Amino acid sequence: MMQFGTFVPQGWRMDLVEIDDPVEQYEAMTRVARAAEVAGYDSIWLYDHFHTVPTPEIETCFEAWTCTAALARDTTRVRIGQMVTCNGYRNPALLAKIASTVDVLSHGRLLCGLGAGWYEHEWRAYGYGFPELGDRMRAFREACEVIVRMWMEEKASFQGRYYTIDGAINEPKGVQQPHIPLWLGGGGEQVTLRLVAQWAAGSNFGGGNPDVVRQKMAVLRQHCDNLGRDINTITRSTSMDVFLLEPGEDAEQATATVRGNTPYEDYARGKLIGTVEQVVDHIRLMESEGINYFITYFPRVAYDHRMLHRFAQEVIPQFQAA
């Protein structure tokens, strides 16, 4: 059965700029998290970034893991994940420890997302340098093993080129068994999708594009076959910006307030803009390609929950009844 998650407004996408007070900005994020929980979403998600997009601005961008912990205490049922934690920003052994703590304080609701990272501006600004892609991917590979070892072994040890742990004790290891679900983000065919087959409980790729999803699913199946892994033990998710139109509403006119001076054709690229029926059809297409988890981002959700609620009331039930 298809499951559904949604991103909460965090500031990274300039989605809190209409609120001046940072305390109220956080409370707006909490209100969305609680609304999503009540509406029936399976999960809420955060980005792991320090500088805003599309350009770095002097605007709020809340830190992902602090918010993960806080939202875990602000909610009671919904799962909480990061799409995805940047491996270069935290030592993976420390990340495993942080995640273990958050899994306990959330009573076992954590989804731990991890990726190799890409946003060069913030890497350099925060003093992490910006290693070549090959180094970032090799470090990512090692980090997956370090994290799982920290969650599974009494005294975890690993000797690698990028990371070393030696008898690391991580107690408590979390609540979920056999360990916290590790979700890997990205569609890299040689490294990332092989790591998904080897280590991950969940994955995220494709950006809602059916052709891309089809290709990545074929590669993931091959990696699973090579490693003797049942692909059905892996959650396959994709994420999209969703703009839910009212019946008879013109898409260009409806999006005018959120896209500003951006031409409609540019704004609509890579987004799912349509009526309930059109949105359902697109998600069913994703489902037919092997996706079983769909993660949404709604424009202006910090200020207006109506689209979040409409999606929960009119779209999600059509998949629960299947």
* Tens digits of residue pLDDT in 153-164: 999 999 999 999
CATH 3.40.50.2020 fits 3-320, yes or no: no
Nearest CA to 50 out of 136, 140, 126, 130 is that of: 126
Return the domain boundaries, the chain.
Answer: 3-320
> Would you state the pLDDT for residue 150?
98
Nearest CA to 64 out of 81, 47, 79, 52 is that of: 47
* Tens digits of residue pLDDT in 194-245: 999 999 999 999 999 999 999 999 999 999 999 999 999 999 999 999 999 9
Instruction: Read off the amino acid at residue 75.
Output: T
Contacts of 319 (CB under 8 A, 6+ apart): 1, 2, 4, 283, 287
Q: Within a 10 A sphere around the Cβ of 182, how many other Cβ atoms?
A: 22
> Would you state the pLDDT for residue 321?
62
> Would you state the pLDDT for residue 320?
85
Asked if residues 224 and 194 have their Cβ atoms less than 8 Å apart, the reply is: no
Q: Please tell me the distance from the alpha carbon of residue 97 to that of residue 146, in angstroms, as a whole number.
A: 11
Its pTM stands at 0.95
* pLDDT beyond 70 at 322: no
In the chain, the largest separation of any two C-alpha atoms, in whole Å, equals: 63
Nearest CA to 71 out of 7, 151, 12, 4 is that of: 7
* Tens digits of residue pLDDT in 70-107: 999 999 999 999 999 999 999 999 999 999 999 999 99
